[in-house]
Every structure is written in structure tokens, then in C-alpha cells.
């Protein structure tokens, strides 16, 4: 089949990889003018790691990733008040864990399909129409294209979902938090391979050192601190962050100075996507476009790869019966993904508890992960994936 995929982040290239192995003619359409690298760091483990292994990417993945040694929670003075070494985390996952810049992972996946898949950069789908013969796309710059199937793998604010299924407001479930991330060069101190986090009621700021003298910062705060409409543009985002974190203690003054100098700041609402159905006719959605669990859950990347792998496998099994493939993909994954969303909603509050006692309890609970017996049990229970990865017969 001729299959168009909107989005060349994680889910899109993973889907293209497995579809190409099945002999399908696949085209990726990406709004960015070129492939991105870097970006915020994501923890990578579980089913996503298993799929990366089946794609032969694990050696490159480990080389690109960071082997974090410690998670350190600090107070306003910078004194340690919680956290844990990551040795127990690695034991619980059999060593199959790394932290990797999201863009670098996307580049690794895309590198596995460069010679086999057409990628249209710098363009976006503006119109979708479908009938018994196929699906027609209108591109902003590339005119009309016709395919048998379209898959939206274009993220939380998916244009394909909006065009085919309806407005974002119909599917977005706001968890009540806002998140921002940015990078700075030359920031001190560095604390190599340590994730350092400072939490106050309703807000949290963290930093992690990266290669090339870069530091990544993550800021999380409750949505009720946004007075008025959401910020539009980088200037308004910076102004909001300065207001929210101005009196945070620890390194907040230095971090806000680094923010002032940043050329690019990621900012978004912490949302889940909840859809009754992941397909409509010849159009399906995967990854965050279909069922985002939230950025704070730390599992979106691996789940995007899982959804891509399962959809490609079901298309291979069903042949030209794409509706059958879409339905099996949804039936196979929906209960598992729904469970992940429920867990992520509960977990979100641990980033920015609303009260000082809540921050204290979070810090004390984190210390339990330092004890091999208790910590290993807690981590295995939290990180276990109750889903058996299907084996799809090669074509």
C-alpha cells in the first residue's frame, strides 16, 4: 500500500521502518525544515527498548544516551533532602535503561530508513479527503498527493487529528500543570550524571548536564499560576517563568539569567489525549496524537514506538484490509495505554505537590528507593509492563 505518515519524530519513523520491511511504499511528511537533534532528555526503557533492540539500534542508543548515576532532591540552600542512586533502577530493568535526548533518538531511527523512505521536510498537511479509492492530501507547499492510508504521528497537537477527528478541545485532558524546558551553555555547577531537582509547593525546577558544556533545565508548575490566557511567544513564556520562579531559592537567580539568554524555550500544558476511536476510515493516529500519557510520565517515547510497531504488524497481517488492521491495533493496545494514562495522572502530582507537607512526603518516599530491598520492589512494581510484545512474521 501507499502510506503517508504525518510527523517525523519518534512514532512516524518507527512506523515507516516496520512498514518498509513489509514492502509498503511509505512517505513521511514533516513540518520542520530538517531533521532535529538534541531536545529535552527522555528516560528510555521497557517495551520501547525492546523494539529498539529489534531494530538493531541499541549500541547507538547507549552511545547517544546518558547513564545517570543519581537523582538528587535539594532544598532552598542546595542541601540534599531526598533522591536515590539509579543503581536500583538499573537492577529492576536488567540494565536496559538510558536517558537520551529525544531528537537524537529520532535521528537514530530516521537513520535506519534514510535510503528506503521518502521524507518531505518543511511541509504540512492542510486538507484531508477520503473515499473508496483512497485518501487525498493537500500540502501547504507540495500540492496534492494521493495515498491508500494516512497515519497521523504528529504529536500532542496533531494537525491530522484536528483535520479528521475534530478540534483539540474534544480530546485534550488537562492535568493541571505547565512545563517548560530549555538549554544553556557554560552553566555552573555541572554535577555530571546527576539529575538535580528543587521542589517547592506548586513548582519544581531541575537541571541535568549534557555533552558540549550544555545544561538542560526543566520547570514544572501548577496551572493556577497562569493568570489570564496562556503565554504567546517566547517573550511571554519567559516573563511567566520569571514571575513563577522568582523567589524559589536554590539556583533560581542563575537559572532565570540563563533563561533570559536562551534562544529557544519549550512550553506547553501537561495534557493527555483521550479518544474514543483511533481511526476514521483510511486515517489512523498513533503516539501522542492518539493517546498521549503526558510529558511528565516519562514513557511517551517508548509507547510511541510500541504503537508504531503494533500498527505496522497488524497492517502486515491484514494485507489490504486496513480497517481490520486499524481495529486490531486499537483493540490490542487500548486497555494497556488506558492503564498507563491512569498511572500518569496519579504520578503528575509528585512533580509539584501543592503543599509543603506534600513536598516533604514526596522527598521522604524518594529516599526509600535507596534501600535495595524496598527500592527494588517499588521500582519493579512501578516499571513492569503488563503487555506481551507480539511477534509479527516477516513478509
User: Over pLDDT 90: what percentage of the chain?
Assistant: 77
Domain that holds residue 9: 2-171+272-383
Burial 6-39 (b: 16+ CB within 10 A, else e): bbbbbbbbbbbbbbbbbebebbbbbbeeebbebb
Inside any domain, residue 238: no
pLDDT for 383 beyond 70:
no
CATH code, 310: 3.50.50.60
Inside any domain, residue 95: yes
DSSP 3-state of 34: coil
Inside any domain, residue 195: no
pLDDT mean over 375-390: 73
Inside any domain, residue 84: yes
Q: What does the radius of gyration of the chain's CA atoms come to, in whole angstroms?
A: 21
Burial 62-76 (b: 16+ CB within 10 A, else e): bebbbebebbbbbbe
As for how many domains the chain has, the answer is 1
At 36, is the pLDDT very low, low, confident or very high (cuts 50, 70, 90)? confident
Inside any domain, residue 191: no
Give pLDDT tens digits for 204-235. Answer: 999 999 999 999 999 999 999 999 899 999 99
Inside any domain, residue 180: no
Inside any domain, residue 242: no
Give pLDDT tens digits for 293-307. Answer: 988 877 889 999 999
pTM, two decimals, is 0.93
pLDDT for 395 beyond 50:
no
pLDDT at residue 394, as a whole number: 58
Inside any domain, residue 82: yes
Q: Cα–Cα distances in Å, from 337 out to 112, 233, 299?
A: 27, 33, 11
Residue partners of 387: CB distance under 8 A and separation at least 6: 47, 306, 336
Amino acid at each position: 500500500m501507499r502510506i503517508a505518515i504525518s510527523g517525523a519524530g519518534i512514532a512516524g519513523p518507527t512506523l515507516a521502518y516496520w512498514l518498509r520491511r513489509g514492502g509498503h511504499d511509505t512517505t513521511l511528511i514533516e513540518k520542520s525544515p530538517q531533521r532535529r537533534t538534541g531536545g529535552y532528555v527522555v528516560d528510555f526503557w521497557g517495551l520501547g527498548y525492546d523494539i529498539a533492540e529489534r531494530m538493531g539500534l541499541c549500541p547507538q542508543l547507549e552511545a547517544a544516551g546518558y547513564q545517570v548515576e543519581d537523582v538528587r532532591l535539594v532544598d532552598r540552600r542546595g542541601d540534599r533532602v531526598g533522591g536515590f542512586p539509579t543503581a536500583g533502577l538499573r537492577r529492576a530493568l536488567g540494565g536496559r535503561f538510558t536517558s537520551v535526548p529525544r531528537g537524537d533518538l529520532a535521528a537514530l531511527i530516521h537513520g535506519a530508513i534514510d535510503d528506503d523512505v521518502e521524507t518531505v521536510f518543511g511541509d504540512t498537511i492542510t486538507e484531508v479527503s477520503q473515499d473508496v479509492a483512497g485518501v487525498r492530501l493537500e500540502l501547504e507547499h507540495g500540492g496534492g498527493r494521493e495515498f491508500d492510508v494516512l497515519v497521523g504521528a504528529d504529536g500532542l497537537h496533531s494537525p491530522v487529528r484536528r483535520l479528521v477527528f475534530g478540534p483539540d478541545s474534544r480530546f485534550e485532558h488537562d492535568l493541571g500543570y505547565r512545563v517548560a524546558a530549555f538549554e544553556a551553555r557554560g552553566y555552573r555547577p555541572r554535577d555530571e550524571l546527576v539529575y538535580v531537582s528543587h521542589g517547592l509547593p506548586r513548582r519544581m525546577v531541575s537541571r541535568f548536564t549534557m555533552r558540549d558544556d550544555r545544561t538542560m533545565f526543566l520547570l514544572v508548575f501548577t496551572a493556577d499560576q497562569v493568570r489570564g490566557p496562556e503565554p504567546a511567544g517566547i517573550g511571554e513564556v519567559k516573563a511567566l517563568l520569571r514571575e513563577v520562579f522568582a523567589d524559589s531559592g536554590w539556583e533560581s537567580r542563575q537559572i532565570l539569567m540563563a533563561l533570559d539568554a536562551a534562544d529557544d524555550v519549550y512550553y506547553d500544558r501537561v495534557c493527555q489525549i483521550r479518544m474514543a476511536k483511533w481511526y476514521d476510515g483510511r486515517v489512523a493516529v498513533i503516539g501522542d496524537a492518539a493517546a498521549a500519557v503526558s510529558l511528565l510520565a516519562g514513557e511517551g517515547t517508548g509507547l510511541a514506538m510500541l504503537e508504531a510497531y503494533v500498527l505496522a504488524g497488524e497492517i502486515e497481517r491484514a494485507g489490504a484490509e486496513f480497517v481490520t488492521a486499524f481495529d486490531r491495533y486499537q483493540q490490542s493496545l487500548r486497555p494497556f495505554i488506558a492503564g498507563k494514562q491512569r498511572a500518569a495522572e496519579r504520578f503528575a502530582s509528585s512533580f509539584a505537590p501543592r503543599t509543603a507537607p506534600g513536598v516533604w512526603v514526596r522527598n521522604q518516599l524518594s529516599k526509600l528507593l535507596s534501600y535495595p530491598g524496598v527500592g527494588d520492589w517499588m521500582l519493579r512494581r512501578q516499571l513492569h509492563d503488563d503487555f506481551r510484545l507480539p511477534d509479527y512474521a516477516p513478509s
